[in-house]
Amino acid sequence: MFSLYILILISLLVAAGAFGLYIWAVKTGQFEDLEETKYQVFDEDDEVPPGSHHGTKTK
């Protein structure tokens, strides 16, 4: 029976950790715009790392 107490307490800790992660996600705005994210690959204005010629902009 003792293991039950331990396991429940551990699960609570895990849940608390998950909740912390969730708070972080909300605070950093991960849920703000679920719609736009999928179009981000088409965004041209991404910063291009210097020297990478795949990303060279053609205008």
Chain residues that interact with another protein, rule: CB under 8 A: 1, 4-5, 8, 11-12, 15, 18-19, 22-23, 26-27, 29, 31-32
- Residue 29, phi-psi category: left (phi > 0), alpha (psi -120 to 50), beta (remainder): left
Distance CA 49, CA 24 (A): 28
Give CA–CA dist 7/55, Å, rounded.
51
Least distance from another protein to the Cβ atom of residue 10, Å: 12
**Which of residues 20 and 55 has its CB atom nearest to another protein in the complex?**
20
In the complex, least distance from residue 40 CB atom to another protein, rounded to whole angstroms: 17
Query: CB 22 → another protein: shortest distance, Å?
Result: 5
Measured in whole angstroms, how far is the alpha carbon of residue 10 from the centre of its chain? 24
